[in-house]
Amino acid sequence: MPTDRGLYCPPGDFYIDPWRPVPRAVITHAHSDHATPGSQAYLAAADCVPLLRLRLGTGITTQALRWGETLTLGHAQLSLHPAGHVLGSAQVRLRDLRGGPIWLVTGDFKTQGDPTCTPFETVHADVLITESTFGLPIYRWPHPDSVFAEINRWRHDNAAEGATTILLTYSLGKAQRVIAGLDPSIGPIGLHGATHNCTEVYRAAGVALPPTTHANADSAPSLRGSGTIIAPPSALGSPWLRRFAGPSGVRAAFVSGWMCVRGRRRWQAVDRGFVLSDHVDWPGLLDAIESSGAARVGVTHGYTETLARWLREQRGLDTFIVPTRFTGERDPARKETDDGPHYDDLPLDEASSEREP
C-alpha cells in the first residue's frame, strides 16, 4: 500500500525503497532515489550491501540476502531476485503466509545483457509492480556491442587528434558498464571521484573491469589528449574537467537511453550521444510483464498513465498507478553530485503530471 513514506507491506511491517526514514527498509538497489538515509535497518541483496554502506555510511544496520533466499517478517515471506539494473539490484517477491496473491516489485530493471551485474530473472507473480522509466514505444535500445564499437571508434579518433574524451554518465551502475566496454589499448581511463569509489566496490565484488585511474591533479598529465574521463553529468564545463583538456581540447558525450531521442544531443550541447541505458526498453518491458504471468499490474517511476492505459486496452490487464516521489533514470541535463542525483531542476519541456524522468 502507498503511504507518505513510500510503499508499505502491512503483513511484514516494512517499507520498500522508502522516501523517508523508517524502522525497516527493504532496498531494491543503492541509487539514491531508492536508498535514502536514516532508517533503523536495511535489508538488501548481498552485492548491494557494500554499495549501501558506501553511499549511506558504514554505521548503518544492514542484513544481506542471497538470491532466492526466503525470509519471514511477520506474516510476510520475502525473497530477492536479480533485476539486472546495477550491481546487487533486486526484485522483491512477497506473499502473505495467511493466503492471498503473490506480489512482485521489480524496482528498476533491465533485460539487456550486462557483464557488470547478475542478469534479470523472470519471476512469476499474481500482482506485479513495475517501473516505466522508458515506457513508450519510441524507446528501443540498440545492441550494446554496436554502441561500444561506436564509442571506441570515437575515442580512437579523438586521441588521434589530441582531444581528451569525456563520457558523461551516472556514477553507480552505468559508469561501470561503460568502463567494461572500453578498449584500454586506445588510451588510459580516468574516473571522477564518485565514479572511482563505486568502481572499487565493483572490483571487490569480482566484476572484471579494465585498468582505471582516479582522475585528479596527479593523473591529469597522463590523461590529457589520449585519455578517456568517466564523470557524472554535473562535471560538464567545470574547472575540474578543464584540467584534463588535451592539445585539441575535449570531446564530450552523454551515455544514456535519452540519447535515442532526436535532437537531444544538440539540446544538451555535447559533441556526441550514445544510446545505452540501465533501464528496460519498451519491448523488454512488455516481455517482462507478460512473462511474469501477472493479471494485475501496478505502474510506477515514469510514463505511468501511458503504460497503464496501454496494458488495459491492448493486453486486457487490470492496472493501477503506484505513486512515487522519484522517477528512475534522470535526464542527463539534471544535476548529479558525489552524493547522487538531484531532482529539482526538471527542464520545462520535460514537465508532466508524473514528472517523467
What is the third-level CATH fold of 144-274? Rossmann fold (3.40.50)
In 3D space, the residue among 91, 276, 110 whose CA is nearest the CA of residue 180 turns out to be: 276
CATH superfamily of 2-139+278-335: Ribonuclease Z/Hydroxyacylglutathione hydrolase-like (3.60.15.10)
The C-alpha atoms of residue 336 and residue 150 are separated, in whole angstroms, by 26
Rounded distance, CA 48 to CA 210, Å? 22
> Distance between CA 227 and CA 224 in Å, rounded?
6
- The span from the CA of 157 to the CA of 92, in Å, is 44
Q: What is the pLDDT of residue 354?
A: 24
**pLDDT the model gives residue 269:** 77
- For a pLDDT cut of 70, what percent of the chain falls above it? 89
Q: How many CA atoms lie within 13 A of 181 on its CB side?
A: 26
Q: Among residues 269, 300, 307, which one has the least CA distance to residue 139?
A: 307
Give the model's confidence band at 353: pLDDT under 50 very low, under 70 low, under 90 confident, else very high: very low
Residues 61-83 have pLDDT tens digits of 999 999 999 999 999 999 999 99
Mean pLDDT in the chain? 90
Per-residue pLDDT band at 346 (split at 50, 70, 90): very low
Q: Where are the domains of the chain?
A: 2-139+278-335, 144-274
Neighbours of 213 (CB within 10 A): 15
Query: SS3 of 228, please?
Result: strand
298-326 tens-digit pLDDT: 999 999 999 999 999 999 999 999 988 75
Largest separation between any pair of C-alpha atoms in the chain: 69
Distance CA(260)–CA(139), nearest Å, equals 7
Q: What is the DSSP letter of 132?
A: E
Q: What are 96's three cell numbers?
A: 502473505
Identify the band that residue 343 occupies on the pLDDT scale cut at 50, 70 and 90: very low
pLDDT score of 260: 87
State pTM to two decimals: 0.90
Task: Classify burial at 311, counting beta carbons within 10 Å of its beta carbon; exposed 0-12, middle 13-18, buried 19 or more.
Answer: buried
Residue recorded with cell 512477497: 94
Confidence of residue 348 (pLDDT cuts 50, 70, 90): very low
Do the first three CATH levels of 2-139+278-335 and 144-274 match, i.e. the same topology? Answer: no
Angle CA 89–69–133, to nearest 5: 25
